[in-house]
Amino acid sequence: MPKTFVTFATPDGTCEAYLSAPDGPGRFAPVLFYMDGVGYRPAVHAMADRIAAAGYVVLLPNLFYRDGPQGPIDIAQRMGPENRPKLIAQVMSLTPDKVLSDAGAFLGFLAAQNNVIPGAKAGITGYCMGSSMAVRTTARYPAQIGAAAGFHGGRLVTDDPASPHRLLATVTAELVFGHADQDAGMPPEAISAFDEALAVRGLPYLSELYTGALHGFTMTDLAVYNKAADDKHWQRLLALFGAALQRPQN
C-alpha cells in the first residue's frame, strides 16, 4: 500500500501529513482523517492505512502543524498531569476559523491527487476533537462531502451560536456518530441535544451509544482502548463509506 509523508501549503503555513492509498492502479474516493487531541502518531497512521486498504485515498494531516514539525510522541508523558494544561491549550488553539481554513486546503490537496476520482465527493472521519471538525467541515463544504463520521467526539454541543450541533441543518452528507457512554466531554444531555439536531435535519443518520466505552475507545495506544467498541466503529465507518462514496475506477 503506498504510504507517503507529505507537506503542502495552507493559508497559515506548511502542513505535514500522512497520505495512504490502496495498492495497484486505479482511482479512488478521497477521505479526510481528523486525528484526536493526543496527536499525529503511528496509531492514527495505522487507522488511515486500514481505511485506505478498503479502497480510499486517505489524508491524515497533523492538525498541530502551526507548532512546527512533530517528532515522536511519548504517550505517557503527553498524557501525564504535568503536560495536561499544554495539551488542552493546544487543542483549544484550533479555533473554528482555523479549522475551516485548513479544511479547504486539505480537501484541495486531496482532490489534486492523481489517484483520486476527479470530482468525487470526500468522506471524513474524526475522533475526539476531530469529530467536531468533521461536522464543521461538512457544514462548510456540503457539495464536496458525501459522508462524515465522528467517534468519541467532544464539544459537539456547546452554548456557542456556532456550536457543531447548530450547523447540522446545512449538512447533506450521510452521517454516523458513535458516542462513549462514559465520556465527560459528551454527557447524556449533550448526546440527546445532538440527536435532536440530527433528527430536525430530516435526513438519514446513525447516532449510537457504545456501552462500556470511555473517551478515546478507538485508539489502540491509549489505556482507554476498547476492542469491542473499536470493532463496532470500524464496521459502521466502512459501511458508511462503502454506501455513500464513489466506487474505485480503473
Please enumerate in sequence order all residues whose Cβ is within 8 A of that of 237, keeping only pairs 6 or more positions apart, or say none: 51, 125, 149, 151, 176
- Per the annotation, the verdict on 183 as an active-site residue is yes
- Tens digits of per-residue pLDDT, 32-75? 999 999 999 999 999 999 999 999 999 999 999 999 888 788 88
Give yes or no for a contact between 127 and 152, defined as CB atoms under 8 angstroms apart: yes
- Per the annotation, the verdict on 128 as an active-site residue is yes
Q: Which of 165, 215, 230, 233 is catalytic?
A: 215
Class of domain 3-244: alpha beta
Q: Which of 15, 128, 165, 233 is catalytic?
A: 128
Judged by average pLDDT, the poorest of 84-93, 130-139, 193-202 is 84-93
Q: Which of 15, 102, 179, 183 is catalytic?
A: 183
- Per the annotation, the verdict on 45 as an active-site residue is no
Residue 1's pLDDT band (cuts 50, 70, 90): low
Q: What mean pLDDT do residues 26-36 have?
A: 97
Q: In which residue are the cell numbers 467536531 written?
A: 132
pLDDT given at position 113: 97
Burial code (b: 16+ CB inside 10 Å, e: under 16) for 169-208 equals eebebbbbbbbbbebebbeeebbebbbebbeeeeeebebb
Query: DSSP state, 249?
Result: B
What is the rounded distance in angstroms from the CA atom of residue 92 to the CA atom of residue 159?
16
Give yes or no for a contact between 90 and 68, defined as CB atoms under 8 angstroms apart: no
Percent of the chain whose predicted confidence (pLDDT) is above 90:
87
Q: What mean pLDDT do residues 214-235 have?
A: 97
Domain coordinates in residue numbering, the chain? 3-244
Query: DSSP state, 27?
Result: B
pLDDT given at position 72: 82
pLDDT, averaged across the chain = 95
pLDDT given at position 150: 98
- In single-letter form, the type of residue at position 83 comes to N
Residue 250's pLDDT band (cuts 50, 70, 90): confident
What is the rounded distance in angstroms from the CA atom of residue 136 to the CA atom of residue 129?
11
What is the rounded distance in angstroms from the CA atom of residue 107 to the CA atom of residue 143?
12
Helices (H), the chain: 42-53, 75-78, 84-92, 96-111, 129-140, 188-201, 227-244
Residue 80's pLDDT band (cuts 50, 70, 90): confident
Residue 221 has pLDDT above 70, yes or no: yes
- Tens digits of per-residue pLDDT, 138-177? 999 999 999 999 999 989 999 999 999 999 999 999 999 9
pLDDT given at position 70: 81
Give yes or no for a contact between 119 and 69, defined as CB atoms under 8 angstroms apart: no
Residue 24 has pLDDT above 90, yes or no: no
Q: Which of 119, 125, 128 is nearest to 152 (CA)?
A: 128
